[in-house]
């Protein structure tokens, strides 16, 4: 059963965060018999707390503390963004792990190659898919075909596309692993009220607890990582729900707070030895922040689509994901289905007056696609801090700066044309694409893995170049963004990292 560890127990591995990265890593370590204390800033909800209402769930799940600059959407709750995600789980492609080698130097971009290859990650992708119950893998059937998916498929065929599927979604198409089959409730980003969608809240966390090697402390906001004089991390400082400050000793610390909090924690742990923040001798901490080219396309179709019925994202189209420089840009993008609540439709479609009202009165006839595409890293896209403005923890307020690279804007022009043509080929009218939609849901790159310590913050295991018992375990690790939705890769990297940590511990190197 769930264990309790003493604050001065220096044998534990501390994992900060319980989402896709932290929750998975913690469970994988606990399954190997390694003692883990997981510190999660948010509360532990139950399925009964999940309401099929994006508005209310924003309050319950969202990280709603002060932020400045470009908006970002992360979660402060057990399960992190696995509560809000839509479950789309494509693997990255081989060339995407070699962005610099494949695309070459690009003006204004800070491209590097990943220190690992697809071949090295493939076994972990497979384990991640099995763990998460990804539809269409490991004997699981594809996901059921929703109205919006059927529309996508017809449009894809009209466009001459060949590679589309309703599979590769981490939402149970059939009952599995103690969780029920999807009931097509809709708006999965409210959280799944029946637990059919994979979230660490009701998979990794309880499984870790059942090992007897894991303690979850909720409403535990980690504000600082301490280190010894010889530069090894030794403990973390955190506030509990009453605002009392505690120090938990640690054998190793793994940080998985999503990009903003991961950067802030390392930044806030600066010291005489590490004046620019922990693990930041390269100066790359908080920089190279990528969040994918993302946009939605809507059109009014000739008949009812009712995209609010069923999974929010129920299909993928791969044909544009490849690197085909003749299109005028490097890298590629995925086209996916999407369903959007009325407010978001009004915001995305834009405009006002009779034409806007007419669009909204066709809500049930809307067809929609979503694009997620590779976004080159730029050093100037970053998470910094306003030291003059402090939040309730006394921490400096994060300041986000993010602008699209010219390559992403060229990709947008191409994708917009393709998605609008796709919907129009099935009779859609008034097709409209809006750049920027959804930005800040896929967050990557601020503590990127690199071969050379000068190029990034962490090595091929997610271990800080500067500090051998400090790890980063979330999307911050991504060397480049690739095109696809990031969660599967975060989970695969966490499984792989757990093996590495266990191996080093067995060899008494941690």
Question: Partners of 233 in the beta sheet?
Answer: 227
DSSP output for 308-374: TSS-SS--EE-TT-S--GGGSSSS-EEEEE----HHHHHHHH---SHHHHHHHHTGGGEEEEEEEE-
Q: How far apart are CA 216 and CA 78, in angstroms?
A: 9
Other C-beta atoms within 10 Å of 64: how many? 12
Query: Which of 144, 237 has the CB closer to another protein?
Result: 144
In the complex, the smallest distance separating the C-beta of residue 186 from another protein, rounded to whole angstroms, is 6
DSSP state of 253: E
Name the residues that contact another protein, by CB under 8 A: 51-59, 62, 64, 66-68, 70-71, 73, 144-147, 150-151, 153-154, 182-186, 189, 193-194, 302-306, 308-310, 340-348, 352-354, 356-357, 360-361, 363-364, 403-404, 426, 434-441
Question: Shortest approach of another protein to residue 427 CB, angstroms?
Answer: 8
Largest CA distance in the chain: 70
Contact (CB, 8 A) for 253 and 463? no
Strand pairing report for 316-317 and 333-337: antiparallel
- List helix spans (H) across 104-158: 118-132, 147-158
Q: Which two tokens stand for residue 77?
A: 């709750």
Gyration radius (Cα) of the chain, Å: 22
How far, in whole angstroms, is CA 258 from its chain's centroid?
8
Closest separation between CB of residue 49 and another protein, Å? 12
Shortest Cβ 365–another protein spacing (Å): 9
Rounded distance, CA 91 to CA 98, Å?
Answer: 15
Name which of 22 and 310 has its Cβ closer to another protein: 310
Residue 376 or 456 having the CB closest to another protein: 376
State the pairing for strand pair 68-69/396-401.
parallel
Contact 164, 196 (CB under 8 A): no
Min CB(180)–another protein separation in Å: 10
Strands in 212-337 per DSSP E: 214-217, 221-227, 233-239, 245-249, 252-255, 293-300, 316-317, 333-337
Judged by beta carbon, residue 214 or residue 348, the one nearer another protein is 348
If the CB atoms of residues 193 and 410 are measured against another protein, the closer one turns out to be 193
Identify which of residues 437 and 491 has a Cβ nearer to another protein in the complex. 437
CB half-sphere exposure, 498, CA atoms < 13 A: 26
Q: How far is the CB of 183 from another protein (least distance, A)?
A: 3
Torsion sign, CA atoms 133, 139, 140, 143 = positive
Q: Which is nearer to another protein, 163 or 454 (CB)?
A: 163
Min dist CB 489 to another protein, Å, is: 22
Q: How far is the CB of 174 from another protein (least distance, A)?
A: 12
Would you say 19 or 186 has its CB closer to another protein? 186
Please state the closest distance from residue 196 (CB atom) to another protein, in A: 9
Question: Which C-beta is closer to another protein: that of 304 or that of 509?
Answer: 304
């Amino acid at each position: 059963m769930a264990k309790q560890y003493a604050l001065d127990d220096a044998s534990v591995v501390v994992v900060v965060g319980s989402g896709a990265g932290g929750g998975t890593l913690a469970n994988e370590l606990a399954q190997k018999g390694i003692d883990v204390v997981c510190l999660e800033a948010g509360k532990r909800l139950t399925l009964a707390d999940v309401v099929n209402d994006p508005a209310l769930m924003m309050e319950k799940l969202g990280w709603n503390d002060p932020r400045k600059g470009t908006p970002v959407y992360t979660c402060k709750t057990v399960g992190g963004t696995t509560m809000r995600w839509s479950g789309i789980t494509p693997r990255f492609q081989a060339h995407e792990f070699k962005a610099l080698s494949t695309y070459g130097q690009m003006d204004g971009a800070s491209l590097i190659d990943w220190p690992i290859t697809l071949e090295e990650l493939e076994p972990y992708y497979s384990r991640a898919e099995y763990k998460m119950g990804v539809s269409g893998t490991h004997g699981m059937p594809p996901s059921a075909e929703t109205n919006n998916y059927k529309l996508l498929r017809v449009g894809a065929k009209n466009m001459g596309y060949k590679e589309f599927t309703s599979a590769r979604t981490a939402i149970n198409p059939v009952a599995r692993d103690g969780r029920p089959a999807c009931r097509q409730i809709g708006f999965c980003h409210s959280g799944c009220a029946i637990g059919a969608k994979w979230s660490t809240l009701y998979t990794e966390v309880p499984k870790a607890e059942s090992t007897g090697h894991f303690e979850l402390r909720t409403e535990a906001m980690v504000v600082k990582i301490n280190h010894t004089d010889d530069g090894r991390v030794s403990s973390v400082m955190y506030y509990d729900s009453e605002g009392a400050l505690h120090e938990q000793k640690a054998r190793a610390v793994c940080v998985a707070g999503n990009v903003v909090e991961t950067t802030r924690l390392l930044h806030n742990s600066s010291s005489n030895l590490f004046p620019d923040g922990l693990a930041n001798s390269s100066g790359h901490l908080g920089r190279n922040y990528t969040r994918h080219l993302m946009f939605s396309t809507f059109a009014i179709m000739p008949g009812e689509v009712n995209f609010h019925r069923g999974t929010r994202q129920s299909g993928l189209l791969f044909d544009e994901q490849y690197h085909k420089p003749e299109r005028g840009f490097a890298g590629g993008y995925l086209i996916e289905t999407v369903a959007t609540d009325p407010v978001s439709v009004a915001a995305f479609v834009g405009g006002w007056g009779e034409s806007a009202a007419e669009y909204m009165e066709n809500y049930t006839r809307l067809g929609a696609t979503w694009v997620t595409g590779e976004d080159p890293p730029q050093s100037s896209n970053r998470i910094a801090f306003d030291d003059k403005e402090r939040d309730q923890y006394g921490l400096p307020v994060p300041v986000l700066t993010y602008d699209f690279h010219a390559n992403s804007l060229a990709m947008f022009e191409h994708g917009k044309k393709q998605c609008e043509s796709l919907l129009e080929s099935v009779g859609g009218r008034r097709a409209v694409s809006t750049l920027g939609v959804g930005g800040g849901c896929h967050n990557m790159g601020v503590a990127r893995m690199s071969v050379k310590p000068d190029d990034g913050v962490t090595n091929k295991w997610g271990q800080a170049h500067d500090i051998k018992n400090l790890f980063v375990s979330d999307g911050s690790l991504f060397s480049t963004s690739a095109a696809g939705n990031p969660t599967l890769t975060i989970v695969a990297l966490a499984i792989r990292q757990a093996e590495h940590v266990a191996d080093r511990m067995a060899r008494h190197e941690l």
